[in-house]
A and B are shown apart, each in its own frame.
Chain A
Amino acid sequence: MATSNRRRRRPGSGIHLSAYLAHHLQSLIFSLGKIYQAPATTLMTVAVIGITLSLPGGFYLFLKNIEAMSGDLRSSSQISLFLDLGVDENRARSLDEQIAAMPDVESTRFISREVSLQEFRQDSGFGKSIDTLSSNPLPHTIVVEPQLEIDRFRVRNLLGELQALPEVDIAKLDTEWLERLYTILEIAQRGVAIITALFAIAVLLVIGNTIRLDIQNRYQEIIVTKLIGATDAFIRRPFLYGGVWYGLFGGLLSWLIVELGYLAISGPLQRLNLLYQSEHQLITFSLHDFFILLTSSTLLGLAGSWIAVARHLKQIEPS
C-alpha cells in the first residue's frame, strides 16, 4: 500500500494532462472572477497601472508625431549656393543645369545678380542706399532642392560636393535648426526610455503590492489548500493569473487614456500642422504599438505577481 502506487493508480495519466490544462483555464477564469467580485480594489489597481503606463505611452506617441513632422520639414531643406562674384551669368546658368542633373537633386532655381539686387531693393527698404553703390555686391545664386527621399546624411554629402565646386563661394544648408531639433529629439527619446523604465518598475511594484495584499487576504484559503495537498504551483497559479489580468487591463486602460488625450489635443495639433504646411497625418498607436503595449503590460503584471508570490507564498505554512 505504498503511497506512490496509490497516487499513480488514481486520476490516470491521460486524464492528468487535460485536467492540468483544465486547471490552468480554471485559475484563469477564477482569478478573473475574483477581480469581478472585488471591483473597487481592482479598478483602483487597474487605474494606477493604466495612468502610469499612459505617460510613457503618450510621450512615445508625441515623439513619433514630432519625428514624422520633422521628416516632412526636412523636405523643405534647401541649399543656397552663392557663386564667386567673378563668375559670369552664362557660366552660372550652365552650372545651374549641371547641378540640376545631379542624382540627389530634385530641382534648382537660378537667381541672377540683377534679379537678386532687384528683390533686395524692393524687400529691404534700402533702395536708395543701394543706388549709391558703384557695382552690384550680390552674387549669382542657385537654390538647390535636394531629392525628397534622401536622408540628412546624404544632404550633408551633397552640401560638401557643392561646396567643393570651384565656382561656389559659399554653400549654405538652411537646416541647422533642423539639426538641433534632431538632437533635441534624440535627447527626448532617451528621456522617454528612462521614463518608461522607471514607470515599468512602478507598475511592477504596484502589481506586486496588490498581489501581496491579495495573498494576505486569502491567507486562510492558502493554509487550507496546503493542508489538503495542494502543490506550490497549484497555489501560485491564480495569483499569477491575477497579475496577468491586472497588467492586461492596465495596458488597455493606458491605451484608452492616450487615445482620448490625443483626441483632446488633436484640434490644435491639426492647426499647427497646417501652419507648417506639413502634409503629415497625425499618428496614433498602430496595431503593432498596441500589441507591444498590451504584451509588455501583461508581462509586467506577470513579473510583478511572480515577485510577490515568490516572496510571500513560501512564508505561509500551516502551523
Chain B
Amino acid sequence: MIEFHNVTKRYEGGYDALKNVTLTLGDGEMAFLTGHSGAGKSTMLKLIALIEKPTRGQALLNRINLNTLPRHRVPYIRRNIGIIFQDHQLLFDRPVFDNVAMPLLIQGYPRHEIARRTRAALDKVGLLHKEKSMPITLSGGEQQRVGIARAVVHKPMLLLADEPTGNLDPVLSREIMQIFVDFNQVGVTVLVASHDLSLIDELQKPRMTLNRGELILNDLDTGPREILHGYE
C-alpha cells in the first residue's frame, strides 16, 4: 500500500523533516508511527496524503508514484484515503450528518446511497442518534468520532490518523483506537501517528519510530510479524 524508498523531505531553510526513510506498509496492515514531536510523523502523513512532495527519494501509494503525480489527479488519489486529524477539522456550520456525508457528495454518490452509507458510518462510531446535532454541541470524543465517520464513510483503502487521541482522556483514547483496530480487521490499511506509547503497547500492533527525521525502529521489518498476522 505504502512504499517509501530513501525519502527525504527538506523544508525551505534547509530543515530536514525526514531523512532517507525507507519503509513498506502492506495492504491490510496496521501500524503505529511514533516519535517525539518534531520527529517527522506529521511530515510522513503529509507525504502520503499528497499535501507535501518528497524532496528526494520515492514515495509510492498503491504503486502510484507520488513524486510525479500531476496536480489534477491528486483529488482522485485522496479519495482512496481517509484522513483523521488531531483537531478533527469538522465544519461547524452544518450538522453531523452533512459533515460525514461530504466525501460521498464529492464523489457524486446518489442521494439515497449517501443517506444509507452516512448512517452506516455514524452507526459504526456509535453516533447515529446525533446525526442532526451541530458539531459544536458534541463532546471532544464525539467530535473525534464524527471525524472518523467522515474518514471511513466512503470505504477508503487506507486510513491515516494524525494524533487522533491527542486531546482525549485515556478511556476515550482506548475507544477511538479500538475503532481503528476494528476497521483494520475488515481489511483497511491503517497508519496511526501517536505518541501514546502505553496505549500502543496494549494494542500489540507493529511500531515505526522516527527520531529527528530518521526511522530508528521498524517492527514491520525486524519485529514480530506474527503479531500482525495474528490480526489478519
| A16–B109 alpha-carbon span in the complex (Å) | 8
Please report whether the interface of chain A is mostly helix, strand, loop or mixed according to DSSP: helix
Q: Does B107 lie at the interface of the complex (its beta carbon under 8 Å from any beta carbon of A)? A: yes
Contacts of A3 in B (CB 8 A): 61-62, 64, 76-77, 80
Tell me which of A17-25, A47-55, A80-88, A244-252 binds B: A17-25
Instruction: Tell me which of B52, B63, B78, B110 contacts A229 (CB under 8 A).
Output: B78
| A11–B103 alpha-carbon span in the complex (Å) | 12
* Given known A-B contacts A1-B27, A7-B76, A22-B111, A229 and B51 have beta carbons under 8 A apart: no
Contacts of B110 in A (CB 8 A): 11, 15, 18-19, 22
Q: Does A228 lie at the interface of the complex (its beta carbon under 8 Å from any beta carbon of B)? A: yes
Contacts of A264 in B (CB 8 A): none
Determine the residue in chain A with the shortest Cβ distance to B103.
A228
Give the interface residue-count category, chain A.
Answer: 20 to 34
Determine which residue in B107, B111, B157 has the highest number of CB atoms from chain A within 10 A of its CB, and name it: B107
Instruction: Tell me which of B51, B91, B105, B111 contacts A318 (CB under 8 A).
Output: B51
Give the interface residue-count category, chain B.
Answer: 20 to 34
Instruction: Tell me which of A16, A220, A228 contacts B102 (CB under 8 A).
Output: A228
- Evaluate contact between A6 and B80: CB separation under 8 angstroms: yes
**In the assembled complex, how far is the CB of residue A257 from the closest CB belonging to chain B, in whole angstroms?**
33
29 CB < 8 A contacts A-B: A1-B27, A1-B62, A2-B63, A3-B61, A3-B62, A3-B64, A3-B76, A7-B80, A10-B107, A23-B105, A26-B105, A223-B89, A224-B89, A225-B102, A225-B106, A227-B49, A227-B51, A227-B78, A227-B89, A228-B78, A228-B83, A228-B106, A229-B75, A229-B79, A230-B75, A231-B72, A231-B75, A231-B76, A232-B72
Q: Which A positions have Cβ atoms within 8 angstroms of B?
A: 1-3, 6-7, 10-11, 15-16, 18-20, 22-23, 26, 220-221, 223-232, 234, 317-319
Report, nearest first, the 7 A-B pairs whose CB atoms are least far apart.
A19-B108, A229-B79, A229-B78, A230-B106, A231-B75, A228-B103, A229-B75
